[in-house]
Amino acid sequence: MLHSGISRKLEIPGQFQRLDDRRQRAIHEITVSDFSPLKISIIGGGGHVGLPLGLFLCDHGHSVTIVDTDQERLDQIGRGEMPFLEEGAEELLPKCLASGRFVLRSDQDAISDAELIIMTIGTPVDEYLDPQVRAFDEAVQDVLEHTSVGQLLMIRSTVFPGVTDRLGRQVAEEGHDLDVCYCPERIAQGRALQELTRLPQLVSGCSDRAQERAADFFRDLGAQVIELSPLEAELGKLFTNCYRYINFAISNQFYMLAEHYGVDFQRIYEAITADYPRLNGFSNSGLTGGPCLLKDTMQLASFNHNLLTLGQHAMMVNEGLPCFIIEQLKKEHDLKTKTVGVLGMAFKGNCDDGRSSLSYKLKKILSLECRRVLCTDPYIDDDDNTTLQSVLEEADILILGACHQEYRDLKPRQSVVDVFGFMSRD
């Protein structure tokens, strides 16, 4: 059976309201009494976005099929083990598996049966920092070969501007009877289960009907819905990540300037942000890596006639910070004779994800510049890593790579480069 909100709109098209009217009612009443469960397939459902979303939807009563090409990951999930850290997911996963409404598949066959198909596959940039359009297109093509009449196809991955409308045109030209919408994921990795209904959902569709169906879906989950056109939503998601990336670059550039003057950036940062609301959005300095911010800034810059020069400059600053740290160390130490320890290899604190972490860039440069590099991380299982104790015993100099809680109150005997200003100081 179709979700009642969806069937109501499908059967009585005259009931559609104009988009402008609907924009005005940002917070919709939650029609809990209307609720009837949907069959949902999540393509890329074993990933950092897809899996928490699947658990959340299953917990809200929907039937969820996780479709993922990574069989090993599916096996792990099937055993009730979360493949990555996600607050609250370890308890939820066994509950969902036991419900019988949470199914794992490596083939696409299950999706023809679904009422809603959500795509959450990765959308990386290539070695030239251009979006890997072909990989996304191939995945979409696979999905389209398995779709059936009347389904809602939701793109949740972060995509290059124009991708959704282009998909809408492709669907129409190939004669698929599908509604296509774009509703970007905006959670912070690791906090999806808390943030999925707390954050407003940006909702867009290739037709009024697609948009209405997507908006109803999120409203029924209790989320605030903000409606946009697909291009606005695509740009909105990319602007969000690009803004954050540039914001970090500002602080990182100031950090480098302060170092140049021989003063402590943290002292200035704390002084100028104290009780001064106009600097509320001013982030602290720190290594700015991870799977999203740089690649989304580059997605926005690619094919845009170099209009995003600020984004390109932010990349130079953020990606240049590891080199800067090492150049500063070289002014005081003969690194060729030193062992340097990197504390934390994840791209951010209390996280087990090393994707595009600048700690690995630090490690690479250090391996060229110093006698020995030792790396440690309590959350990342990597044969190249060693224990915190070995690093503390053997390293001459330490660099903080990720703000894991385990490092906050460390009092090491060696000097520590802490670009984040994270470790407690006496």
Ligand X SMILES: NC(=O)c1ccc[n+]([C@@H]2O[C@H](COP(=O)([O-])OP(=O)(O)OC[C@H]3O[C@@H](n4cnc5c(N)ncnc54)[C@H](O)[C@@H]3O)[C@@H](O)[C@H]2O)c1
Where along the sequence are the contacts to ligand X (CB under 6 A)? 43-44, 46-50, 67-70, 73, 120-123, 139, 142, 157-158, 185, 187, 189, 291-292
Query: Shortest Cβ distance from residue 25 to ligand X (Å)?
Result: 26
- The Cβ of residue 138 has, within 10 Å, a number of other Cβ atoms equal to 11
Query: Shortest Cβ distance from residue 185 to ligand X (Å)?
Result: 4
Query: Shortest Cβ distance from residue 321 to ligand X (Å)?
Result: 22
What phi and psi values does residue 398 have, to the nearest 5 degrees?
A: -120, 145
Element (DSSP H or E) covering residue 194: helix 192-195
CA distances from 88 to 7, 65, 93, 393 (A): 33, 20, 9, 35
- Cβ neighbourhood burial of 72 (10 Å; 0-12, 13-18, 19+): exposed
CB 105 within 8 A of CB 113: no
Query: Shortest Cβ distance from residue 299 to ligand X (Å)?
Result: 9
Q: d(Cα 420, Cα 416) in Å, to the nearest integer?
A: 11
What phi and psi values does residue 118 have, to the nearest 5 degrees?
A: -115, 125
Residue 366: which of 395, 346, 392 has the closest Cα? 395
Nearer to ligand X, 185 or 220 (CB): 185
Nearer to ligand X, 244 or 361 (CB): 244
Nearer to ligand X, 114 or 388 (CB): 114
Q: d(Cα 179, Cα 172) in Å, to the nearest integer?
A: 10
Query: Shortest Cβ distance from residue 312 to ligand X (Å)?
Result: 19
Query: Shortest Cβ distance from residue 298 to ligand X (Å)?
Result: 12
Nearer to ligand X, 184 or 341 (CB): 184
Strand stretches in 207-309, DSSP E: 225-227
Q: d(Cα 128, Cα 122) in Å, to the nearest integer?
A: 17
Query: Shortest Cβ distance from residue 123 to ligand X (Å)?
Result: 4
Query: Shortest Cβ distance from residue 184 to ligand X (Å)?
Result: 7
Nearer to ligand X, 128 or 261 (CB): 128
Query: Shortest Cβ distance from residue 47 to ligand X (Å)?
Result: 2
Nearer to ligand X, 44 or 161 (CB): 44
268, two tokens = 């200035």
Nearer to ligand X, 46 or 289 (CB): 46
Nearer to ligand X, 6 or 308 (CB): 308
CB 236 within 8 A of CB 201: no
Nearer to ligand X, 30 or 135 (CB): 135
State the residue number with the nearest CB to ligand X: 47
CB 319 within 8 A of CB 361: yes
Tell me whether strands 178-182 and 201-205 are parallel, antiparallel or unpaired. antiparallel
Residue 189: which of 406, 321, 68, 357 has the closest Cα? 357
DSSP state of 18: P
- The Cβ of residue 69 has, within 10 Å, a number of other Cβ atoms equal to 15
Nearer to ligand X, 19 or 135 (CB): 135
CB 401 within 8 A of CB 345: yes
Query: Shortest Cβ distance from residue 6 to ligand X (Å)?
Result: 24
Tell me whether strands 116-119 and 201-205 are parallel, antiparallel or unpaired. unpaired
Sheet arrangement for strand 397-400: 372-376, 339-343, 397-400, 415-417
Nearer to ligand X, 3 or 48 (CB): 48
Sheet arrangement for strand 63-67: 102-105, 63-67, 39-43, 116-119, 151-155, 178-182, 201-205, 225-227
Query: Shortest Cβ distance from residue 388 to ligand X (Å)?
Result: 26
346, two tokens = 């994840």
